[in-house]
Structure formats: structure tokens, C-alpha cells
Amino acid sequence: MSYRYLKLFTILIPTLIIGGFEFFRHSIFLHHLSMETGNYVITILTFLISYIFATWMFKTIEIKNQRITKEREMRVIYEERERLAKELHDSIAQTLFLLRVHMKKGKHKEADSLVNSIDTQLRQAIFNLRMNPDEQIHFTNRIDNWFEEWTAVSGIDIETDIHFIDKYFTPADEIQLFGIIQEAFMNIRKHSSADSVCFKLDVRNDEWEMSIEDNGCGFDYAKIGSKQYGLSMVKERAEKLGAQIEFDTALNRGTKIKLRGNKKHDESF
């Protein structure tokens, strides 16, 4: 039912029922129903009609809002999949070109490194794309599963400390947060030379905090800025979450990424 019909029913139903009762009260029941009794009846009738109608209307609006929210979240999920597919296509095409160049020049060590890079990219893409949007998989389980695969590929240990409330984030926000985790860990594997990573996610009633810290070589943030190592994508996703992000790093001192954000409340009503 559209909002147009809801508006029409809101105007007509109370008017017709209460107005109709008053009409019959003064034309037919005038000699059978006293004024005092009529006042009691119209009060009770108004309360019952208002309660029944308001309950039905708000339930209808709630169902419509849930459907709209679900459709919006599904659209975000599929847009993310399209982005991943395009990113994978561009990245694989570029890597294969470099692989062919190295093979022609006999640089087998560099070629072997590129093959490993392709393998990692494909594993990550398969993990992301095989997730069914309708599956009810806990966010923490998804993180744990990805960490297991990442550790198997990278050989880097992960220490986790997760305090999470189920369904705290919307599916759209989970995509952004998971994308930040993947990008950060990809950078650690490629650039940090670390042998261990500490991951923390602490979710409270109205705010949350996440940190990723490695013991690698670090980098000079003043020189690198946010345009390299995928940091720009991490910042972009953090903005979509409405979260504050901090980079704490220096040469030979490791890197720590910290995000802080607030829970998004339903503003449908």
C-alpha cells in the first residue's frame, strides 16, 4: 500500500465512522440515547478506532520501511560486488601483463611473486563473492574465517580481541568495515614485513572502536600520505561509516590503524 492511500485512509476513516455515528445519533437515536450516554459512547468509539487504525497504520509503515531498508542494503551489497569484480579485472589484467614481461626477461623470481599475488587476489575475491547476501552469517564468524585464510596464505600470526553485539552494524556498514579490514591486512602482507598482527574490535551500546596493529617496518606517513598503500580506500570507507580514523606509524616501529564510530540508530519514525 502506498503512502498516498495511507494518507487518504487517515483522513477518511475516522471522519466517516465518527461523523457517521454523530449523524445517526442525532437523527435516529436522538430519543433512545441520552446526551450523556452518547458522549461516553463517542469517546470509547473514538479511542477504539484511533487505537486500531494507528496500530494498523504504523505496522504497515514499519513493514514498508523494513522493505525499503532491505532493498537499500541489497543494493549496497551488489554495488560492492560490482566494484570488486571491476577491481579484480583491472588488477589481474595488470598483474598478468607484468608476469608476461618478467617471463620474457627470464625474471623467474619476480614472476613467482606475481603468481602468488594473483593467487591471493583470487582467494580474496572468491571469499567476497561467494557470500550469499541472504545468508544470516554472523559478522564475527565471517572475520574469523577470513583471518584463517589470510594467515594460511601470509604465514603471519593474528591475535584477536573481539567484543561484539550481534546485528550491531547494518549489512551495508558491515561491508565497509570488512573492506577496511581486508585492505589493511593486504597492506600488512605486502609492505610491512611483520610476523604478527593484533586485531581488536570493541562494540558498546552507542559507540565502537576497532584497531589493527602490526610489528612490521612501518612507514613515514608524512611522505607516503594517504594516496598509497590503499590508505585512501581505507579513509573513504571510514567516511562512509561516519567513523574517525587515526594512523600511528613510523619507520621501524610498526603501524597501528584505529577507527572510532557511533552506532547508527533507526530514524524511520
So where are the chain's domains? 3-65, 137-269
Instruction: At 234, list the grid cell.
Output: 581505507
Q: So what's the pLDDT on residue 268?
A: 45
pLDDT at 40 over 70: yes
Q: What is the pLDDT of residues 202-226, one digit of tens each?
A: 998 889 999 999 999 988 877 775 5
Ranges 8-12, 147-151, 189-193, 208-212: which has the least confidence: 8-12
Region 51-76: mean pLDDT is 80
Q: What's the CA gap between 68 and 30, in Å, rounded?
A: 50
Contact present, 249 and 217 (Cβ < 8 Å): no
116 compared with 235, residue with greater pLDDT: 235
Q: What is the pLDDT of residues 111-137, one digit of tens each?
A: 776 776 676 666 666 666 665 555 556
Residue 137's SS3 state is coil
Q: What's the CA gap between 163 and 161, in Å, rounded?
A: 7
CA-based torsion, 40, 44, 45, 46: positive or negative: positive
What average pLDDT does the chain have?
79
265 compared with 176, residue with greater pLDDT: 176
CA-based torsion, 139, 143, 145, 146: positive or negative: positive
Q: So what's the pLDDT on residue 269?
A: 43
Q: What's the CA gap between 183 and 238, in Å, rounded?
A: 12
Q: What's the CA gap between 226 and 267, in Å, rounded?
A: 33
Q: What's the CA gap between 74 and 79, in Å, rounded?
A: 8
Region 101-117: mean pLDDT is 76
Q: Which of 74-88, 173-187, 207-221 has the highest mean pLDDT?
A: 207-221
Contact present, 158 and 195 (Cβ < 8 Å): no
Distances (CA, A) of 230 to 180, 185, 206: 10, 11, 29
Residue 81's SS3 state is helix
Residue 269's SS3 state is coil
The CATH H-level (homologous superfamily) assignment of domain 137-269 is Histidine kinase-like ATPase, C-terminal domain (3.30.565.10)
Region 79-90: mean pLDDT is 67
